[in-house]
Amino acid sequence: MALDEIDKKILRLLQENAHYTLKDIANKINLSLTPVHDRVKRLEKEGVIEKYVSILNKKKLGNNLTVYCQVTLTKTTYDTSEGFNLSIMEMPEVVECNYVSGNFDYMLKIIIPDMESYHHFHQKKLSVLPEVSLINTVFVISEVKSTTVLPI
């Protein structure tokens, strides 16, 4: 399942725009429809292409605040982590959650309407979790870059 140059070209295009037609792609890489079709299906089947999604505008949906939460747990046992993870999975405001090395245990990214909503989230949803010991909030002042495009 090694990716050749043609696969990579297709992936680069699809990362840019999931609505490129097979014909668009075929034209851009000088191939006919068939190999493009077959390769895309293969890449989907192999899981290289995970899914096709729509990217919406945060602000137009009323989500004007982004924050990073650096969370420290009470204990570092498996059960504590798992309990925390399961709770996080249920929270739509949490768009990223990574277990990390360093002075704290988790780095979360939260997208939420405003400061008031964040206050509520912090006090009523996050800090009340039994696994959570400390929360350090880093507020985003301005978004410089945000992309789903991975280096290929």
Partner DNA sequence: ACTTTTACAGAAAAATATTCTTTTTTAGGA
Partner DNA sequence: TCCTAAAAAAGAATATTTTTCTGTAAAAGT
Binding site for DNA (CB under 7 A): 6, 21-24, 31-35, 37-39, 41
Find which of a copy of itself, DNA, none residue 33 binds, CB within 5 to 8 Å per kind. Answer: DNA
Find which of DNA, a copy of itself, none residue 128 binds, CB within 5 to 8 Å per kind. Answer: none
Question: Bridge-partner residues for 69, per DSSP?
Answer: 108, 137
Decide if residue 72 touches a copy of itself (CB under 8 A): no
Tokens of 98: 């990574």
Rounded (10°) CA dihedral 69, 70, 74, 75:
120
**CA-to-CA distance for 36 and 63, rounded, in angstroms?**
38
> Of 41, 3, 5, 4, nearest to 22 (Cα)?
41
Other Cβ atoms within 10 Å of 36 Cβ, number: 24
Decide if residue 76 touches a copy of itself (CB under 8 A): no
Least separation in angstroms between CB 25 and a copy of itself: 11
Which of 79/144 has CB closer to a copy of itself? 144
> Of 37, 79, 48, 28, nearest to 150 (Cα)?
48
Which of 32/136 has CB closer to DNA? 32
Binding site for a copy of itself (CB under 8 A): 1, 3, 11, 14-19, 46-58, 60-61, 63, 66, 68, 85, 88-89, 92-102, 106-107, 111-112, 138-152
